[in-house]
Amino acid sequence: MFNEWFNASFAQPITVHFGSVIILVIGLGTIGYITWLKGGKNYPPGPRGLPFFGVQLSDTAWNDFEEWGKKYGDIMYMEASGQKILVLNSRAAAVNLLDRRGGNYNNRQEFVVINEFLTRGLLLASTNDDDLWRKMRRAGHEVMNKTATTKYHRIQEREALVFIENLLQDSKEWYQEAYRTTISGLQTALYDVPPIVSRTDPLIKKINDFDKFLVHAGYPGNYLVESITWMKYFPAAISPWKRRAEAWFAEFSDFYMRLLRDVESRLDEGNEKLGMVAHTIRQQTRLGLSDVEAAWVPAGFSNGGMANAETLAWFFLAMIAYPDKQRKCQEELDTVVGRSRMPTFDDRDNLPYLRATVRELIRWRPNAPLSIPHDDIYEGYFIPKGTAVFPHIWLMNRDPNIYGQDAEDFNPDRFIDEQGGLIPAIADTKDVRFDLIAEGHVSYGFGLRLCPGRHYANDTLFITFARLLWAATISPPINKQTGKPVIPDLLATVGITIRPPPFDCVVKARFSDAAEMVARTKELST
């Protein structure tokens, strides 16, 4: 069941269009000219690849970067299909460039497909309009800061109950259920709409498809127009990517505008409890946002919700592959909460191992890159304008000098002190600004582009993990021929995002009245 869904969603081949081939031939001369212009610049070290084409990035690009990093060091420069890429392999380099020199690196790479056609520069995560970015960032911060997100705890607690209830009834489609619960909870928090009930709700597919297109469009080398930007002026008749991106923008802009108008109409009726978007509407004049800009503010959070679904998928894999860690979480829950009630956010301070599990999971399996808009010099190296900067978070989160020689393993104990409490900060992470010290990892990024939805994400993961492990045990299926458990491969499907390989699991109640307790708690929460 999972394999069929996974292949249908993520394993579709890329079609090569004749018009694209023509454009490729025309563009080779331009690439050659650009290559000639680069002469005399002191670029950082890195693999050079083939003439004109540069390096060929595989679907496991982060693994490629890790191997090259052993040869070229903390900062690497390369090109893929004419697209400029800078990889930062150490936290020190990332902090120096993206935190301390954040003014130079605030903007994302100028993604042509994403910014000029797919989102028209309206997506917070990728926009290069400094003024718009500041306004949208402010709007997002006001509804997603650490204090503001406590308003959505009841939504997150109840959505976790629906998630568990559905899994206890049927866990065969657990992956689809992970997407349903993350999208449902976020849509309710954003727009104060009823929870999404069906795993096949069209809204889930819509957001999932848009996210996949964003990921594909942002991956280096997938679109020649990113390096030969004048190709964007080619007519849509010979540019299938342009037709598709423009169609997606029209559809999603209409989608977000309809959601905004619905909240506006309910506000006009005197309904004051309308979630994050209602706050943005009330403060729209002060924030300086147009209607379409205000409508697109939540889009970035919807995209982040997809990342939360992938993190939830990694949680299932970790619980199967490391059952001793699952048992430690459950023992803590039994000690602190007992079995007469379900855990709530009020229990969080007394559940250090659960909190360490959230922290460790995000360290163990992270995702995401950054980019810059200006030419720059760093340690004598020239970094050209428009270079896509990739902090190698995968590698930074595995630094043995910080996390130990077992950094590749999933081990929440690394965040627990001798007294059983949560370690405030891992040694040597104090060079990371903001509240990344408390995170214990760098998965939420660096500088001014630090993930604005990190507090909501942490809250969602905590309450989902806590309530699920209180009520149920996650186990691998049993091979009917051998009678042995089927443990999934821990190797990641890696690209610009990181997701687990396909696998099945079984979710069963831990004790006889667990399902009844879930149903009763859900009824009381309405």
* Residue recorded with tokens 């993190």: 311
What are the φ/ψ torsions at residue 356 (nearest 5 degrees)? -65, -35
Burial 363-388 (b: 16+ CB within 10 A, else e): bbbbbbbbbbbeebebeeebbeebbb
Cα dihedral sign, 138-139-144-146: positive
The tokens for 224 are: 């020649």
Residues 465, 329 contacting (CB under 8 angstroms): yes
Q: Does residue 422 contact residue 356 with C-beta atoms inside 8 Å?
A: yes
Nearest 5°: CA angle at 135, between 374 and 308?
A: 85
- Contact assessment for residue 91 and residue 363, using Cβ atoms and an 8 Å cutoff: no
In angstroms, the first-to-last Cα distance of the chain is 33
Q: Please report the DSSP string for 391-415 in residue order.
A: E-HHHHTT-HHHH-TTTTS--GGGG
Nearest one of 304, 261, 326 to 460, comparing CA atoms: 304
DSSP H or E run through 77? strand 75-80
Report how far residue 39's alpha carbon sits from residue 19's, in angstroms, rounded to the nearest whole number. 31
User: Does the annotation list 505 as a binding residue?
Assistant: no
| Of 170, 71, 88, 72, the residue nearest 368 (C-alpha) | 88
Residue with tokens 């169609």: 247
> Would you tell me the crossing angle of helices 153-169 and 514-524 to the nearest 10 degrees?
140
Contact between residue 98 and residue 446 where contact means Cβ atoms under 8 Å apart: yes
β-pairing, 83-88 with 388-391?
parallel
Cα three-residue angle 298-299-305, rounded to 5 degrees: 90
Cα–Cα distance, 152 to 263 (Å, whole number): 17
The neighbour count for residue 165, using CB atoms within 10 Å, is 15
Tokens representing 515?
């399902």
Sign of the C-alpha dihedral computed for residues 33, 39, 42 and 44 taken in this order: positive
CB distance 113 to 107 below 8 Å: no
**Known binding site: residues?**
451
**Known binding site for heme: residues?**
451
